[in-house]
Structure 1
């Protein structure tokens, strides 16, 4: 298996930031997934924050605790994957233990294992390869098997990348039935990056 010695997972303390702050801090970080086929990695260029109990758009609104949301109640840095319309989406669990908050990784800029990503995604363009939450998980080989693991440990982890020059914020996407929560400016993206979902 192809190994990159310079890919070192970030320390667990990185994930212990307030949710909105972490959603911004994740921009520019490198998301890495190691599989038997090889390593795929991409720079995180778009995120969305979900503030749990008080956020109508969050799966854990009103402290809803189900088999699916259980991991959101654990400590920051855990991996929360779930399936939506046949796509697996990946989130970073944030907040203190018992406070179910998370950050959705919406888009990455491909960096490592690009041929492998194309193989997994089939006929698509470079720009379309990882420019959405379902696209990036398929391209990188992120699955429900990653649920509950930690982002500071292999095989799915986050490491240092680059510092964005400019960050934009705006309302989150695809949450029309969430009342006033649909207007919260809790989506963050690297301004002008071509891999941002829209």
Structure 2
């Protein structure tokens, strides 16, 4: 690749290409070499823009969060926080392995910080102390990431199926009793329940 061609390639193009690869083949297929192959350039050209695979994944995660709209939010702080969590989940679900991508990174980048600022601002309006605000906001994020990661892995083998094959009313009576409520179809309800529980008035 010539210097002129290298100059025309920019980090945004690399990240868009990496996200396309993610959506088509999943997180395991994403690498700087795979992105270089997709772009028809040498691997060092991609690395010149994003340095390492880890850095590329951080920028990809930040790009996913950049897709979250922050306008037209409810006025009530608790409902605003719930709506932000919903939009966060939708952004993760819009990309194959989106939750796994974000879980594996710590991107202190513009889009990530923009979303975090909006969420913390909403939770600050819920009459909590600063420590509770920080921990509540993180709890919303961790819960959403964890549930969404399970939801995106459901095609491999749902948790309900795993439980059904491993437990019985005799050996694990409590688990057996509630296992039916962990069906894949309940992800929306489980998400709303969990976020509401985290944001419930103290």
Question: TM-score surpassing 0.5?
Answer: no
Q: Which has the higher helix share?
A: 2
Structure-2-length-normalised TM-score:
0.22
Return the index of the structure with the highest Cα Rg.
2
Structure-1-length-normalised TM-score:
0.23
